[in-house]
Amino acid sequence: MDGTTVIATAKIARLAVHSAPAGGVTHRLKNPTAIGAPLTFMVLDSQPAAGAGSGWLKVALPLRPNGSTGWISQADVTLTTTPYRLVVSESKHQLEVLYEGQSKAKYPVGVGKSVTPTPPGTYYLTELIQPPDPHGSYGPYAFGLSAYSNTLQTFAGGPGQLGLHGTDTPHGLGHDVSHGCIRVANSVISRLAKELPLGTPIEIRG
């Protein structure tokens, strides 16, 4: 189906990432993640097993540096699909929601300031958080992204991971205002939180 992305969700407690199909192990990732989210990947490619064993999946990794990839065993994950894809235009300050490759909605966004820019690239949604204060700086919901700031190694006690979240300053939408995260109206993030599964791709364009 046009516009569909395959998502892999870990079904074991510690998942091995390999440099190539049946290659050396480069990482072992915990499932669930540190915040309790299921360990999820966006699938980029696949390769059948040489023998009777399980096949291999090339996946985007939620790790530094941005754009990291690796191979995981298909036996270690459950596969699903999503018809959704997000595209962020930093120059237009716009988030476009695509469904099966067709534009469904467009929303204004706030993006990173010049000193803390939002890095272009293709990433995916790694986790969904519901902050205790829906009127706080992150709004009622925040998606974690597989993207990290190129200028901040740490932020607010975390590793500099970027997010897609609501805001308590809606006048900042349409401007360069953040530390790299993508801000949308609280009504928009509430809608997306109900629609988008983890693993949904998000392309950030300059």
What tokens were used for 152?
């901040």
Single out the catalytic residue among 18, 27, 165, 175.
165
Determine whether 165 is an active site residue.
Answer: yes
Cis peptide before 65 (omega within 30 of 0): yes
Pairing of strands 25-30, 14-18: antiparallel
Residue 148 near residue 158 (C-beta atoms within 8 A) = no
Q: Which among 38, 17, 31 is positioned nearest to 125, based on CA atoms?
A: 38
Determine whether 181 is an active site residue.
Answer: yes
3-state secondary structure of 174: coil
The Cα 32–Cα 100 span in angstroms is: 29
Single out the catalytic residue among 18, 135, 171, 181.
181
What tokens were used for 200?
């949904």
Q: Which among 5, 76, 83, 105 is positioned nearest to 45, based on CA atoms?
A: 5
The Cα 175–Cα 43 span in angstroms is: 32
Return the active site residues.
165, 181
